[in-house]
């Protein structure tokens, strides 16, 4: 590697002295050799095991020759859409085309196709009919079994079938990919690699599938939403690597897609070894002329501390991808990476983040998870923290102190997902004090998501009373420290369960807060989440979990739809705002102060019989008439710092 990077062209491959690479990695992202990019981790990991890897980044999907630049790899192709699902990368929740792709040179859009994994694999298959293809990454991982696809508004087959690939490596892949590589290198046929945890394979021999739960057939879940919700509930019960059973589903009764149990969590030493690989921490030099890769700037000076999340929010796919068991790097490993940042000429003294899916999680939720995994039918934080939850910020606090003490570090920010309910469960307020004193710069972003308990229950989030209590604690601590700092809440509109009444209640909450969010996230139905299952089916699959359906199926061999407690008809119905106009009104209510939302807000209020919120004064949302053009120019969006002190910040 003359320039330190892995080869992305035939010329660079020759310079590395490689005539035929063991693997060719096809990615929908440009090549960034940084540990925050899955492509870089997998390629560097294979390299550390003695395998040669060449990359084809963002090939022209209209030209079969674009995936032939190295010829046939010795062992196989690895294919990923990149760090994001290609459809989320391309489209807003309103299904409008985005104008920028942060993972492409210069942020240019159009460098990858829709459904990138399927397109790339079919492109490869046009030339290489029998060469093994292993797919992975977020797009393949969350589409590993039949799934609802929001963009086409239908249930699609497993991506393994539509892509023509041989194997899926789901989850993070650091255990499964080296095992697959070793199996192929030993001469094993790809069709015989059916035993590796964290993989999905296909077979026509049902008798060869052992110790497994048969899910409803694809034809059933495609035509019957209750069967779809039943299948999803069973899948969600089987996401824990210590307890999960093998799952499979049939297609036309002849072809079977089999999901092996998830791979075991990484140990601290394994994580340290991965993050110690020789990453260049930069994008490939060939992208410099195009303006570089925007996504790198967001994470270049951020430090990954952990993986996994026992928060288990319904709208989040982490349970299906990284899992609920938290895995953490050692302090030594993180400090070594921080020292590498210090040597970078672009480093200005600010570490932008230290965390992961949830910043302060540095160990599994309880001692049981270390040995037996996460509970199937019980959550760690919802609806209240589990009595067995180990609440302890001391390790994370110690890490932050060490990072602050490094010569050349001016400030260490905490910007990852932050669980205020977990912080409140800690009776020791030392972490909150040091968070406010050292790790917040004016505004702390947290994610209550909503304030209606009706909606929060469908999100798997704690009651609004918990958020209000945190806001009071945060304000009290800042008053004690003499700091003027504010909470900026992330809010979501149109989540399953959210009625117009709930949306108006949220608007009233924001009114009392004296704050108008500049950004609002409409609920985005993406594969692999409970909330997406609710959106498609109108049913809450978690209300069937108490019957332990999968266990009953496994031991009795009976169809769960014939059993009380396992009958999909027992699932609770959920109100789902699907109409685009209603969704627009719910979103507008959150930003009711914005003059361009006036018409939608007024329509929503009148429709719900809430004309009492139209008038002049602090208790009203909008005035009786639409602001005139010169009024609109004077109305400015609020920021966190504009919150008036007439009320407790964050309290209803």
Could you write out the DSSP letters of every residue in 474-520? HHHHHHHHT---EEEEEEEES-TT--HHHHHHHHHHHHHHT---S--
Cβ neighbours of residue 424 closer than 8 Å, sequence gap 6 or more: 466, 469, 470, 473
Q: Which two tokens stand for residue 387?
A: 């009595």
Phi, psi of 67 (to 5 degrees): -105, 15
Local confidence band at 371 (pLDDT 50, 70, 90 cut-offs): confident
pLDDT (0 to 100) of residue 174:
97
Phi, psi of 357 (to 5 degrees): -55, -40
Select from 195, 227, 189, 198 the least CA-distant residue to 211.
Answer: 195
The pairing of strands 353-355 and 411-412 is unpaired
pLDDT digits (tens, 9 = 90+) for 232-287: 999 999 999 999 999 999 999 899 999 999 999 999 999 999 999 999 999 999 99
Res 17 pLDDT > 50: yes
Cβ neighbours of residue 438 closer than 8 Å, sequence gap 6 or more: 400, 404, 411, 412
pLDDT digits (tens, 9 = 90+) for 419-434: 999 999 999 999 999 9
Local confidence band at 376 (pLDDT 50, 70, 90 cut-offs): confident
- Among the residue ranges 22-26, 312-316, 349-353, 636-640, the one predicted with the least confidence is 636-640
Cis peptide before 304 (omega within 30 of 0): no
pLDDT digits (tens, 9 = 90+) for 458-509: 999 999 999 999 999 999 999 999 999 999 999 999 999 999 999 999 999 9
pLDDT digits (tens, 9 = 90+) for 93-116: 999 999 999 999 999 999 999 999
pTM exceeds 0.85, yes or no:
yes
Residues of the chain with pLDDT > 70, as a percent, come to: 92
- Give the whole-angstrom CA distance, residue 366 versus residue 294: 38
pLDDT (0 to 100) of residue 143:
98
| 3-state DSSP of 615-628 | CCCCCCCECCCCCC
- Give the whole-angstrom CA distance, residue 620 versus residue 614: 5
Q: Are 406 and 450 in contact (CB under 8 A)?
A: no
Select from 461, 169, 177, 212 the least CA-distant residue to 321.
Answer: 169
The CATH class for the domain spanning 10-202 reads alpha beta
Q: Which two tokens stand for residue 319?
A: 């349970």
Helix spans in 353-499 (H): 367-372, 394-404, 420-424, 430-438, 453-459, 464-481
CA distances from 356 to 309, 405, 461 (A): 9, 21, 19
pLDDT (0 to 100) of residue 631:
57
Q: Is 634 exposed, middle or buried (0-12, 13-18, 19+ CB in 10 A)?
A: exposed
Cβ neighbours of residue 551 closer than 8 Å, sequence gap 6 or more: none
pLDDT digits (tens, 9 = 90+) for 325-353: 999 999 999 999 999 999 999 999 999 99
- Give the whole-angstrom CA distance, residue 521 versus residue 537: 22
Helix spans in 126-200 (H): 137-141, 159-163, 176-185
pLDDT (0 to 100) of residue 543:
87
Break the chain into its structural domains and give their ranges: 10-202, 205-253+540-567
- Give the whole-angstrom CA distance, residue 311 versus residue 309: 5
- Give the whole-angstrom CA distance, residue 314 versus residue 576: 14
Q: Are 501 and 608 in contact (CB under 8 A)?
A: yes
User: CB neighbours (10 Å) of residue 430?
Assistant: 11
pLDDT (0 to 100) of residue 570:
72
pLDDT digits (tens, 9 = 90+) for 45-79: 999 999 999 999 999 999 999 999 999 999 999 99
- Residue in the block written with tokens 């993972």: 103
Residues of the chain with pLDDT > 90, as a percent, come to: 87
What mean pLDDT is predicted for residues 120-124?
98
CA distances from 72 to 12, 65, 67 (A): 17, 12, 9
CB-based burial, 175-213: b 16+ in 10 Å, e otherwise: bbbbbbbebbeeeeebeebbebbbbbbbeeeeeebeebb
Select from 28, 33, 42, 26 the least CA-distant residue to 6.
Answer: 33
Residue 610 gets which letter from DSSP? Answer: -
Q: Are 376 and 243 in contact (CB under 8 A)?
A: yes
pLDDT (0 to 100) of residue 71:
97
- Give the whole-angstrom CA distance, residue 547 versus residue 551: 9
pLDDT digits (tens, 9 = 90+) for 184-221: 999 999 999 999 999 999 999 999 999 999 999 999 99
Res 377 pLDDT > 90: no
For the chain, give the mean pLDDT.
Answer: 92
pLDDT (0 to 100) of residue 75:
98
- Give the whole-angstrom CA distance, residue 154 versus residue 306: 35
pLDDT (0 to 100) of residue 2:
59
Local confidence band at 632 (pLDDT 50, 70, 90 cut-offs): low
Local confidence band at 1 (pLDDT 50, 70, 90 cut-offs): low
Res 557 pLDDT > 50: no
Long-range contacts of 61-65 (CB under 8 A, 24+ apart): 61/112, 61/113, 61/116, 61/119, 61/120, 61/123, 64/123, 64/126, 64/127
Q: Is the model more confident about 293 or about 372? A: 293
Res 437 pLDDT > 90: yes
Q: Which two tokens stand for residue 554?
A: 């496994």
Question: What dihedral angle (degrees, nearest 10) is formed by the CA atoms of 184, 190, 196, 200?
Answer: 140
Q: Are 518 and 637 in contact (CB under 8 A)?
A: yes
Q: Are 309 and 213 in contact (CB under 8 A)?
A: no
Res 396 pLDDT > 80: yes
What mean pLDDT is predicted for residues 551-571?
47
Res 553 pLDDT > 70: no
């Amino acid at each position: 590697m003359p320039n330190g990077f892995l080869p992305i062209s035939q010329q660079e491959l020759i310079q590395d002295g490689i005539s035929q690479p063991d693997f060719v990695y096809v990615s929908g992202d440009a090549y960034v050799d940084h540990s925050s990019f899955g492509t870089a981790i997998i390629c560097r990991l294979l390299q550390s095991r003695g395998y040669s890897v060449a990359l084809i980044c963002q090939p022209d999907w209209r030209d079969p020759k674009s995936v032939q630049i190295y010829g046939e790899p010795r062992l196989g192709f690895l294919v990923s859409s990149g760090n994001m699902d290609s459809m989320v990368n391309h489209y807003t929740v309103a299904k409008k085309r985005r104008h920028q792709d942060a993972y492409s040179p210069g942020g240019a859009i159009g460098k990858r196709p829709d459904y990138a994994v399927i397109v790339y694999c079919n492109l490869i298959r046009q030339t290489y009919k029998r060469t093994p293809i292993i797919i992975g990454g977020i797009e393949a991982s969350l589409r590993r079994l039949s799934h609802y696809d929001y963009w086409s508004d239908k249930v699609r087959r497993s991506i393994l079938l539509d892509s023509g690939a041989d194997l899926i490596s789901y989850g993070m892949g650091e255990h499964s990919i080296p095992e697959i590589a070793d199996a192929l290198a030993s001469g094993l046929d790809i069709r015989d690699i059916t035993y590796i945890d964290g993989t999905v394979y296909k077979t026509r021999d049902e008798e060869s599938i052992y110790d497994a739960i048969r899910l409803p057939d694809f034809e059933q879940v495609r035509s019957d939403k209750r069967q779809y919700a039943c299948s999803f509930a069973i899948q969600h019960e089987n996401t824990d690597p210590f307890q999960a059973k093998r799952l499979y589903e049939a297609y036309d009764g002849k072809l079977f897609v089999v999901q092996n149990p998830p791979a075991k969590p990484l140990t601290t030493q394994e994580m340290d070894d991965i993050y110690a690989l020789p990453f260049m921490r930069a994008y490939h030099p060939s992208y410099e002329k195009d303006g570089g890769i925007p996504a790198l700037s967001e994470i270049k000076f951020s430090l990954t501390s952990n993986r996994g999340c026992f928060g288990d929010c319904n709208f989040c796919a982490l349970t299906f991808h990284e899992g609920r068991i938290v895995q953490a790097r050692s302090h030594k490993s993180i400090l070594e990476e921080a020292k590498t940042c210090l040597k970078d000429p672009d480093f200005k003294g600010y570490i932008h983040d230290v965390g992961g899916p949830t910043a302060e999680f540095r160990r599994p939720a309880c001692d049981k998870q270390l040995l037996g995994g996460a509970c199937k039918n019980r959550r760690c934080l919802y609806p209240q923290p589990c009595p067995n939850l180990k609440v302890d910020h001391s390790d994370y606090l110690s890490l932050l102190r060490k990072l602050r003490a490094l010569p050349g570090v001016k400030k260490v920010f905490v910007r990852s997902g932050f669980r205020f309910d977990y912080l409140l469960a800690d009776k020791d307020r030392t972490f909150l004090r040091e968070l406010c004193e050292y790790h917040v710069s004016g505004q702390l972003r947290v994610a209550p998501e909503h304030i209606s308990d009706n909606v929060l229950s469908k999100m798997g989030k704690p009651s609004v009373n918990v958020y209000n209590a945190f806001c009071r604690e945060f304000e009290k601590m800042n008053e004690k420290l003499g700091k003027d700092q504010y909470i900026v809440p992330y809010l979501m509109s149109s989540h399953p369960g959210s009625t117009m009444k709930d949306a108006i209640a949220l608007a009233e909450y924001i009114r009392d807060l004296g704050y108008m969010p500049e950004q609002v996230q409409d609920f985005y139905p993406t594969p692999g989440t409970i909330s997406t299952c609710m959106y498609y089916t109108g049913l809450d699959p978690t209300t069937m979990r108490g019957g332990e359906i999968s266990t009953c199926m496994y031991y009795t061999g009976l169809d769960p739809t014939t059993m009380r407690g396992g009958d999909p008809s027992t699932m609770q119905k959920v109100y789902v705002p699907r109409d685009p106009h209603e969704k627009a009104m719910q979103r507008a209510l959150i930003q009711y102060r914005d003059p361009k939302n006036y018409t939608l807000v007024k329509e929503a209020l009148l429709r719900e019989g809430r004309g009492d919120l139209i008038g002049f004064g602090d208790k009203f949302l909008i005035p009786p008439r639409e602001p005139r053009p010169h009024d609109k120019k004077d109305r400015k969006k609020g920021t966190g710092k504009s919150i008036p002190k007439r009320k407790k910040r964050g309290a209803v």
